[in-house]
Amino acid sequence: MKLGVHPSADVANVAATDCLAGWLTAPTTRTVMVAAGNTPIELYRRIGERGLTLSHLNVFALDEYVGVPLEEPRNCANLMRRCVQQAWGIPPAQFHTVSSLEADALASVQEHERKIIKAGGLDVIILGLGQNGHLGFNEPGSAEDSSGRLLDLETISIEANRNWFGGDYAPAQGVTVGLKTILAARHVLVLAYGSHKTAAVKAMVEGTRGSQCPASLLQGHANVNLFLDEAAAASLNNRIHSEAMLTEANTGDEETA
């Protein structure tokens, strides 16, 4: 796991944009999975501003709130349609989402994963980090080999959902691709900013690898880039924290030279 600690979320997003732009434009990249939510929106905006040629990509949504209308602009499908598909110039037929309707959600995510397998798996995935260590809506206790499914959410996730929707909705269920699909991605980019993510970051980086913190399962992945601000990294072991800061400083020097 390559760990970068930055003075602020803005500085971290600069580095994350450089990393992601390189991955997206690599000749071997054909499939990308994107997470919704507050944290990655700025990253997507910055990628869109670069004017990269990305129309060859197939883009898959990571998850979806369940019990929210299909036309709700803040659900994952519509948010990613605006912030990624339209902003990056992805043809509509190459943008794949899952349904927010309870009656359709399970079948929708199962078909979603079949499309990913048919496409050869994920080349790149962009993830946020849940306060309880979840990835997508894979809550603590999710199996490493779990597949796409509909599941009940923990209270902390429900409250995060309520805040996201400004109290209009508070989805208690989510539909998500499974950890098996996430962990099989060839390149993984994770963003975590703010003091409310401090405990989750520590569990992800320094905790025991296991289902109690789904993000900790990325410890065994060969190509993970984790971008943090100082607040999110505050509880990390001093040595790990210092080495991450030094790595980023040296990288910056090399890029400037």
Q: Which pair of structure tokens corresponds to residue 222? A: 């060969």
Tens of pLDDT along 21-46?
Answer: 999 999 999 999 999 989 999 999 99
Characterize 151-183 residue by residue with b for buried, 16 or more Cβ atoms within 10 angstroms of its Cβ, and e for exposed.
bebbeebbebbeebbeeebbbbbbbbbbbebbb
Flag whether pLDDT at 218 surpasses 60: yes
Catalytic residue (choose from 134, 138, 225, 248): 134
Q: What is the pLDDT of residue 239?
A: 53
Domain membership of residue 157 as a residue range: 2-256
**Confidence band for 120, pLDDT divided at 50, 70 and 90:** very high
Catalytic residue (choose from 42, 139, 229, 248): 139
CATH of the domain at 117: 3.40.50.1360
Catalytic residue (choose from 13, 42, 63, 225): 63
Region class of 121: left (phi > 0), else alpha (psi between -120 and 50), else beta: left
Following DSSP, what letter does each residue of 66-132 receive, concatenated? ESS-TT-TTSHHHHHIIIIIIHHT--GGGEE----SHHHHHHHHHHHHHHHHHTTS-SEEEEE--TT
Tens of pLDDT along 45-79?
Answer: 999 999 999 999 999 999 999 999 999 999 999 99
Q: Which of 102, 87, 114 is nearest to 172 (CA)?
A: 102
CB of 239 closer than 8 Å to CB of 204: no
Number of domains in the chain: 1
Vertex 134: Cα angle to 164 and 82 (nearest 5): 45
Looking up tokens 């790990």, which residue turns up? Answer: 240
75 catalytic per annotation: no
Catalytic residue (choose from 132, 138, 161, 225): 132
225 catalytic per annotation: no
The number of residues making up the chain comes to: 257
63 catalytic per annotation: yes
Mean pLDDT of the chain: 93
CA–CA separation, 114 and 218 (whole Å): 23
132 catalytic per annotation: yes
Flag whether pLDDT at 209 surpasses 60: yes
Give the pTM.
0.92
What does DSSP assign to residue 175?
A: E
CA–CA separation, 18 and 36 (whole Å): 20
